[in-house]
């Protein structure tokens, strides 16, 4: 069964204030290019309060905030497949918040632009296409020193998503403020920041 991590069928919002990379991500027809120097807002694992967790399937580590718990993925997330409960690491909060993390190796011969194209939904297939946008329009963030993009913060989008590509592996962080119902509420910004700041990518 497809979960709410599927970007093609869900449409959340998040307040401003994430550390933004001082860069420009350009191009969507070819491989995106980065100019300038990203602002690395990562911290040491010991500076973020919580419980360390390492994902062998998705090749990263993170610190789980106090009160949250994780259900690890059981299988890998395959290119071209919609995410589901089995292939994402699912983090659950105390007030029905939900955050998932998954990654997949971009196949040899596939450009980053092609990967984005096969992952993102066709605008005509979703009720709020403005929740997605093109990668070059996303807010820029740095995760473990790698440049990524944040999107999905519009009213009633129901999700916030961050994608980071490092050494040919695409990492996807997806979050919703309430996994049980549609809501205009925002996913807690400090919580999202804590996850992103503590992430270490090991492709």
Does the residue 82 lie in any domain?
yes
Residue 25, pLDDT above cutoff 90 = no
Task: Identify whether 6 is part of a domain.
Answer: no
What is the per-residue pLDDT across 60-79, written as a single tens digit (0 to 9) for each? 999 999 999 999 999 999 99
To the nearest 10°, report the CA torsion of 16, 39, 68, 11: 50
The tens digit of pLDDT for each residue in 95-146 reads 999 999 999 999 999 999 999 999 999 999 988 899 999 999 999 999 999 9
Whole-angstrom Cα distance, residue 160 to residue 152? 5
Residue 148 is part of a domain; what is its CATH number?
3.40.1000.10
Burial 17-34 (b: 16+ CB within 10 A, else e): ebbebebebeeeeeebee
Range of the domain at 51: 23-201
Report if residue 16 sits inside a domain: no
Is the residue at 147 inside a domain?
A: yes
How far is the C-alpha of 141 from the C-alpha of 84, rounded, in Å?
Answer: 25
CA neighbor of 179 nearest in space, from 2, 5, 62: 5
Strands 139-143 and 169-176: unpaired
Task: Give the 3-state secondary structure of residue 160.
Answer: strand
Looking at per-residue pLDDT, the higher value among 57 and 35 belongs to 57
Count of structural domains, the chain:
1
Residue 83 DSSP class: P
């Amino acid at each position: 069964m497809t979960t709410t991590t599927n970007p093609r069928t869900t449409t959340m919002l998040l307040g401003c204030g994430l550390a933004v990379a001082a860069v420009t991500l350009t191009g969507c027809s070819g491989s995106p290019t980065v100019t300038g120097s990203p602002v690395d807002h990562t911290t040491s694992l010991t500076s973020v309060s919580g419980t360390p967790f390492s994902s062998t399937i998705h090749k990263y580590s993170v610190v789980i905030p106090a009160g949250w718990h994780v259900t690890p993925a059981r299988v890998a997330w395959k290119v071209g497949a919609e995410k589901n409960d089995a292939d994402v690491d699912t983090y659950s909060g105390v007030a029905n918040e939900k955050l998932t993390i998954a990654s997949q190796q971009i196949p040899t011969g596939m450009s980053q632009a092609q990967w984005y194209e096969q992952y993102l939904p066709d605008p005509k297939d979703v009720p709020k296409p403005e929740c997605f946008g093109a990668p070059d329009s996303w807010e820029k963030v740095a995760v473990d020193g790698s440049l990524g993009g944040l999107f999905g913060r519009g009213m009633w989008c129901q999700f916030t998503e961050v994608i980071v590509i490092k050494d040919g592996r695409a990492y996807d962080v997806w979050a919703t403020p309430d996994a049980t119902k549609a809501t205009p509420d925002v996913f807690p910004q400090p919580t999202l920041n804590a996850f992103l700041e503590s992430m270490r990518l090991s492709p």
